[in-house]
Amino acid sequence: MEYINREASDKTKGFRLQRIRAVDLIFDKLSIKDEHCFYTGVEMFEDTFQQDNLTSEKCNHYEENKNYNDRVNFSLFSRQVKNTLVAFFDIYLGQCQQDYNATNFCFYTTAGVAKENKRTEYPDLPDEPILEILTRDKKVNDEILIIIKKCLIDEYKKQYKSKKTTGFLSDLEEMSLESFQNFLSCISWKFGEQNEENLKERVLEKIRNSKFFTCNHHNKEELIFSQIMENLEQKQNKEGFVNKLLHSSEIKSIFIRVESESPSQKNDPTWQELESIEINDKRNVEEKIYSVKPDFSTKRLGYFARKVVTSRAEQKENDKSMLSLKYRTYESCLDFLSQQKIDFTQDENINNALKEMEQLSCANIQKLKQDYNYSSSNSITVEGLILDLFDGCFLSFDEDQNDI
């Protein structure tokens, strides 16, 4: 049976809350006294994925993470909730291979709960918000089960309407209330949870209380946190299921590695320098490329535009070290442009120059990491930063426009 493939729908977005929540789950698992191995990844099937080998059976945890301000509230009929129910149901029937007891789901959000108000369509709505009931009770009465099942069937039909397959629609429609209750019982609902800033503080406390934390790790919890975050991000962009997962043994290795590093290895202070750069060129990356190569590949420009959007999303969700990374990347690109005489009227030369700037930036950043800590520093992130620097008025393909 085919169904909608939701695996890593955006492999590079790397939203910060997802990764922090993944680290949060890692240290929850490490707090269990029994020695066992587990794997954790982001943007795999769902926002956060964890596989636990505590027993002879593998236990899979799938989690949706929704980051909204505290004024946003969800009801059962909210788009985000309905979409999550469809995704969870597809995993439940499509990947659990009948081993439903070894599967659990979680809906983690900073948003609150709202009351359902579709009384005309659902006359038997309870007085209490359904999501509040689901948060509190693993088992609910048949009236509520019927409402949730009808809502899920309607949304399922809507999502599969334009697909060649109907997914597991017939299974859903024919499912007994008892079986549907078993599915819902696999879901934990977490509303009003901590945002990325507060969640990070909770994770730092868990790092300090970890069984791997010793006196030699004093004042190094930020460094441990950043290295785990970076490892998750690097694995997110790899090919192959296993390569995307962070193994529990790698966490211990990070603690061992950090133990010998200086606690002063913290933030690069150059993040402030970005604000002091004088901006004279207001053109975006497309306009700058067309100024030197009017017939440049539109398909390639589309790729550049997507990378810029992704990069800005990463910058928004990251800390000051990302701004420092951006400034160091800017320095490397200026250095490259000042020393190279390139004919940018050729598509190949533009693409090659961007690649060489990426390689130079990554090489310089690796040297800087001996003294400074960056929350992200992989080549995919650096590529996005370079394109954003061109799009954001800092760099140009016109030699006389770069302030070198």
Q: Are residues 271 and 209 in the same domain?
A: no
Strand order of the β-sheet with 103-109 is: 187-190, 103-109, 59-66, 46-52, 38-44, 246-247
Q: Are residues 177 and 161 in the same domain?
A: yes
Domain presence at residue 72: yes
Q: Specify the number of domains making up the chain.
A: 2
Q: Are residues 284 and 220 in the same domain?
A: no
Domain presence at residue 218: yes
Domain closes at, from 260, 287, 317 = 260
pLDDT given at position 271: 80
Q: Are residues 66 and 207 in the same domain?
A: yes
pLDDT given at position 13: 34
Closest alpha carbon to 169 in 154, 191, 189: 154
Domain closes at, from 260, 283, 301 = 260
pLDDT given at position 266: 63
Q: Are residues 369 and 239 in the same domain?
A: no
pLDDT given at position 10: 38
pLDDT given at position 213: 95
pLDDT given at position 315: 83
Q: Are residues 236 and 279 in the same domain?
A: no
Domain presence at residue 15: yes
Q: What H or E segment, with its residue span, contains residue 39?
A: strand 38-44
Residue range(s) defining the domain that contains residue 161:
11-260
Q: Are residues 236 and 160 in the same domain?
A: yes
pLDDT given at position 301: 93
Handedness of CA 23, 324, 387, 378 (dihedral sign): negative
Q: Are residues 231 and 274 in the same domain?
A: no
Count of CA atoms in the C-beta half-sphere (13 A) of 21 = 29
Domain closes at, from 225, 260, 295 = 260
pLDDT given at position 377: 84
For the chain, which residues score pLDDT lower than 50?
7-14, 401, 404
Q: Which residue has the tokens 């990378």?
A: 307
Domain presence at residue 401: no
Domain presence at residue 6: no
Q: Are residues 211 and 325 in the same domain?
A: no
Q: Are residues 256 and 350 in the same domain?
A: no
Q: Are residues 327 and 304 in the same domain?
A: yes
pLDDT given at position 84: 96
Domain presence at residue 404: no
Q: Are residues 337 and 385 in the same domain?
A: yes
